[in-house]
Amino acid sequence: MKIIGTYLSPYVRKVLVVLDLKGLSYEIDPIIPFLGDERFAGLSPLRRIPVLIDGAVTLSDSSIICQYLEDRYPKPALYPVDLADRARARWLEEYADTRMGEVFIWQLFNQVAINPYVWGKKPDEAALAKTTTEEMPQVLDYLEAQVPQQGFLFGDLSIADISIAAFFRNAAFARFRVDTERWPLTAAFAGRVLGLEAFARLKPYEDRLMRTPIPKHRSVLTEMGAPLTSETYATVTPRRGIMRI
């Protein structure tokens, strides 16, 4: 099985955690989506990462991939058995992918990491202030009303826990810390889920990539023994070769 997409993406992280929990091994081509070549665009018409290649099946969109993995490799189950809970878990996954995607990635992470280190653009401080003082709190208020005091959202670990937690790694990359007085349940929940081995095993790669110029991502991952593909779908190099924050 092959995955195309960088360890720094919350959508890639979600799929890698699901693969790990299901005991499935994979190789990864850790590209930044903006730098994918035309073959990549052919596999992922919306230029989304990750892409999964499982034999003859090629899929993009992390939610579609995770549901496919659940259908094909059902153990352990990562979608609740109760149909109402299952629908609610999918909704929280959608909320994470869409709304946390907008705020944690396309606003926060984009301003402090992607804009400066991929495109060489300065952060927009006014936009960033609005994100951290208005948009992030709105998302955290919503989550605070959803997450449990202990354990996971639907008893056993599910796709909802994984999807939500994945975004908090990117918040940490952007040096955003959740106020534990204001959102105690959410802060504890994110810490609990990110502490799982399947997330913890990815952390050294993520931390290293955050300190490594993009053109060197492959070589440092090779040094670290990451399960890389031999081929890559990235061909261009970014304007500035670094994504350090």
Residues that bind its own copies (CB under 8 A): 45-46, 56-57, 59-61, 63-65, 67-68, 71-72, 83-84, 86-88, 90-91, 94-95, 98-99, 142
CB nearer to its own copies: pick between 63 and 229: 63
By beta-carbon proximity to its own copies, the closer residue of 103 and 226 is 103
Pairwise CA distance, residues 168 & 187, whole Å: 9
Q: How far is the CB of 93 from its own copies (least distance, A)?
A: 9
Task: Pick between residue 66 and residue 221 the one whose CB is nearest to its own copies.
Answer: 66
| Block residue for tokens 């909704």 | 91
One-letter amino acid identity for 239?
R
State the nearest-atom distance from the C-beta of 5 to its own copies, in Å: 16
CA–CA separation, 91 and 173 (whole Å): 26
Give buried/exposed letters for 42-52 (b at 16+ CB in 10 A, else e): ebbeeebbbbb
Nearer to its own copies, 99 or 216 (CB): 99
Dihedral sign (CA 165, 4, 35, 99): negative
Q: Which is nearer to its own copies, 47 or 201 (CB)?
A: 47
Residue 125 CB, nearest approach to its own copies (Å): 27
Query: In whole angstroms, how close is the CB of 145 to its own copies at the nearest point?
Result: 10
DSSP 2: E
Shortest distance in whole angstroms from residue 91 CB to its own copies: 5
Mode of pairing for the β-strands spanning 51-54 and 57-60: antiparallel
